[in-house]
Amino acid sequence: MNPINRRCLESSKPRWQRQTSWEEQIHGGFDLNAAGNNSKNYHAHGEVGAGTVVWRSENKNHSVGVGAHAEQHRGKFQGHGIYYDI
């Protein structure tokens, strides 16, 4: 099928059935790191996140996205534990 006919077929479908480009896919990332001197003095951190575009204007100048993010920290300072989630 030549590109012109494919474009006509794609534009006649509802938006949710059209072939998505890389810009409309789910994007994500993660990060892990740790530092310290010994088992009584350290800090470890991990995070993960994901997001996607849920609406984009016809001229592609405006968009609305949604995303989620979670992270956790653990550590010890002079043997006292420090734990928190965000």
d(CA 52, CA 32): 22
Confidence (pLDDT) at 59: 87
Write out pLDDT tens, residues 13-66.
555 555 555 556 888 899 999 999 988 899 999 999 999 988 888 888 888 899
Say which DSSP state 57 is in. Answer: -
- The domain segmentation of the chain, as residue ranges, is 24-85
Whether this prediction's pTM lies above 0.95 is answered by no
Residue 8 has pLDDT above 50, yes or no: no
